Amino acid sequence: MAGKRGNIIVRNHGKIERNVTLMAVLIAITISIGGLVEIVPLFTIKTTIEKVDGVRPYSPLELAGRNIYLREGCYTCHSQMIRPFRDEVLRYGPYSLAAESMFDHPFQWGSKRTGPDLARVGGKYSNAWHVQHMINPQSVEPGSVMPSYRHLMRPLKLKLIQAHLRANQAVGVPYTKAQVAAARGDLRAQADPEGEHDHDGLLKRYPKAVVADFDGNPAVLTEMDAVIAYMQILGRMVDFRKYKTKDLQQ
Amino acid sequence: MTTEREKDSVTGTETTGHEWDGIRELDTPPPSWLMWIFYLSIVFAAVYVVLYPAIPLGGSYTKGVLGYSSREALDVSMAQLRKAQGQYLVQINAKSPAEILKDPQLRTFAVRGGLVAFGDNCAACHNLGGTGRHAYPSLADDVWLWGGKPADIYATLKYGIRSGHDKTRTSAMLPFGTGQKMTEPQTADVAEYVLSLTKRSKDAAAVTRGAALYGRQCASCHGKSGGGDQKQGAPALNDQIWLYGGTKAEIIAQIVRPKMGVMPAWVDRLKDETLKMLSVYVHALGGGK
């Protein structure tokens, strides 16, 4: 295509190829343009988030569960993004909002559904069902190809929970000082409803958090407790009966 | 090295004007059909940008002349669905599950709608067709924990069982094996008595001992002859339906440290019309009272 009358860059490409400084400058310019196009919109991202009530940072136990969700690669089979299509809304519930994943670092929208979408799984099943399903998925879903996650019955590592909250703080999640200070107590309290804990404080800091002995073993705080606490909050923070489409303008 | 562009004598095509160690490269143009697809896709993109939302502008974006929004399109699509089902849904919303069951046309509609909702929401525990599984009761038989009338099923669906909802159905069996309530041999005696209710006991002496204990500790909920009590979700013990297993060991385990199932409340999750259709579907599975 590049004839004698080809464009100026093609005709002079020999010069660029022979002059390393010129080439470096031109590469820098090209990458800057691409970078600007990708990065600049991020500065205005807040304005694209719907204004809805209820979305809060994850409680320490939910956050620990979310970390395990990432570690186990759950997102490779489960999306957390209900698209605004009739079939999806009828099956899963209201479509996902940007606001609902604003405290997710990284978000878990996913791109593949080998298993069902989990964006609204919170409250859909009992804790006992989740435990049974994690240990032996085929016992409740005979056709499921999900592997067993029985290893989650091991104790949860507690030491780093405050650091996890602070790490999220560093990327913009509005955890308060009080939330960070209470993190270790909250972590235990959420999975031990009968124990001596500050449950009122936990629910004040994290409204709608499910307080329960998730895995049926109150003596040990397990990874299973954490993952199910995370499952049970998914999609429950926003009360969709309060909003119509026009309220959700981005 | 740059050389002159020249016509290759064999193919009649121009060379690129580059030479590498004596090798020159033909500048064969791509096939025209490919280039046309390329140009047309550029035109398509330009048209698309004009018609549809496309370019981010800080806090906003170009809306496009069609003013399309996927969320508004969903509203339209949902409205079409409601319009198609309109008459039925109006009636279902106006009537109680029992009244829906009496209207053959409405009943058929509700059973079909309930079937779909059941598959999406209930089958994970109660199994397809409501046949149940260990720890999750069958809904296809005529044995009910909390009542099998349409209104009972509707209430259970709405508020759940031990769901945490303010109006949830709830009850708790005491852990008789812990503390001072029953000794280990006593729990075995009671289990033997429970077995005798379905004529499966072989130890008459244990049954006699267990009967007295049963009368004192169990009969107030499960009934004198083990008939159960649907007001408090106490299962009947004189039938062949066992939620957590009916062997002696399983019965003892349930006396010592009872398992108590949880059903979520659906009132905040599903529409009232869906809950009514589900009630009708479950009732129509065969065991409705």
CB B275, CB B157: distance < 8 Å: yes
Q: Which residue range forms the structural domain that includes residue B82? A: 71-168+263-284
Residue B275 lies in a domain: yes
Give the pLDDT of residue B179.
72
Model pLDDT for residues B162-199, shown as the tens digit of each residue? 999 999 999 999 989 877 788 999 999 999 999 999 99
Q: Is B81 in the same domain as B163?
A: yes
Q: Is B196 in the same domain as B214?
A: yes
Tokens of A14: 């020999």
Model pLDDT for residues B74-113, shown as the tens digit of each residue? 999 999 999 999 899 999 999 999 999 999 999 999 999 9
Residue B219 lies in a domain: yes
Q: Is B128 in the same domain as B214?
A: no
Give the pLDDT of residue B238.
94
Q: Is B272 in the same domain as B236?
A: no
Alpha-carbon span A20 to B269, nearest angstrom: 64
Dihedral over alpha carbons B38, B41, B46, B52 (to 10 degrees): -160
Taking contacts as CB-CB distances below 8 angstroms, the residues of chain B near A123 are 264-265, 268-269
Optimal mutation site among B13, B72, B120, interface A, most CBs of chain A within 10 A: B120
Alpha helices (H) along chain B = 32-51, 70-94, 97-102, 104-121, 123-126, 150-159, 184-197, 204-217, 219-222, 248-256, 272-284
Q: Is B89 in the same domain as B128?
A: yes
Residue B233 lies in a domain: yes
Residue B196 lies in a domain: yes
Pairing mode, if any, of strands B60-61 and B56-57? Answer: antiparallel
Q: Is B143 in the same domain as B276?
A: yes
Dihedral over alpha carbons A187, A190, A196, A201 (to 10 degrees): 90
Instruction: Provide the CATH number for the domain around residue B269.
Output: 1.10.760.10
A26 in contact with chain B, both atoms CB, cutoff 8 A: no
Q: How many CB pairs under 8 A join A and B?
A: 71
* A117 phi and psi angles, rounded to 5 deg: -65, 145
Model pLDDT for residues B243-275, shown as the tens digit of each residue? 999 999 999 999 999 999 999 999 999 999 999
Taking contacts as CB-CB distances below 8 angstroms, the residues of chain B near A210 are 164
Residue B62 lies in a domain: no
Model pLDDT for residues B106-147, shown as the tens digit of each residue? 999 999 999 999 999 999 999 999 999 999 999 999 999 999
Q: Is B77 in the same domain as B157?
A: yes
Residue B127 lies in a domain: yes
Alpha-carbon span A119 to B119, nearest angstrom: 18
Tokens of B106: 């409405």
Residue B234 has pLDDT above 60, yes or no: yes
Taking contacts as CB-CB distances below 8 angstroms, the residues of chain A near B89 are none
- Percentage with pLDDT > 90 across chain B: 80
Give the pLDDT of residue B47.
97
Tokens of A236: 């429950």
Q: Residues in chain A with pLDDT < 50?
A: 1-3
Q: Is B130 in the same domain as B205?
A: no
Give the pLDDT of residue A5.
58
Taking contacts as CB-CB distances below 8 angstroms, the residues of chain A near B121 are 124
Amino acid at B77: S
Task: Please tell me which residue of chain A has the smallest CA distance to B35.
Answer: A1
Tokens of B89: 């849904």
How high is the ipTM of this complex?
A: 0.85
Task: Please tell me which residue of chain B has the smallest CA distance to A212.
Answer: B164
Q: Is B75 in the same domain as B191?
A: no
Q: Is B106 in the same domain as B242?
A: no
Model pLDDT for residues A83-97, shown as the tens digit of each residue? 999 999 999 999 999
Residue B280 lies in a domain: yes
CB B54, CB B62: distance < 8 Å: yes
Q: Is B145 in the same domain as B272?
A: yes
Residue B60 has pLDDT above 90, yes or no: no
Q: Is B213 in the same domain as B151?
A: no
Q: What is the least distance, in Å, from the CA of B198 to any CA of chain A?
A: 28
Give the pLDDT of residue A184.
95
Q: What is the mean pLDDT of residues B11-40?
A: 89
Taking contacts as CB-CB distances below 8 angstroms, the residues of chain B near A91 are 120
Number of domains in chain B: 2
Q: Which residue has the higher pLDDT, B55 or A189?
A: A189
Residue B279 lies in a domain: yes
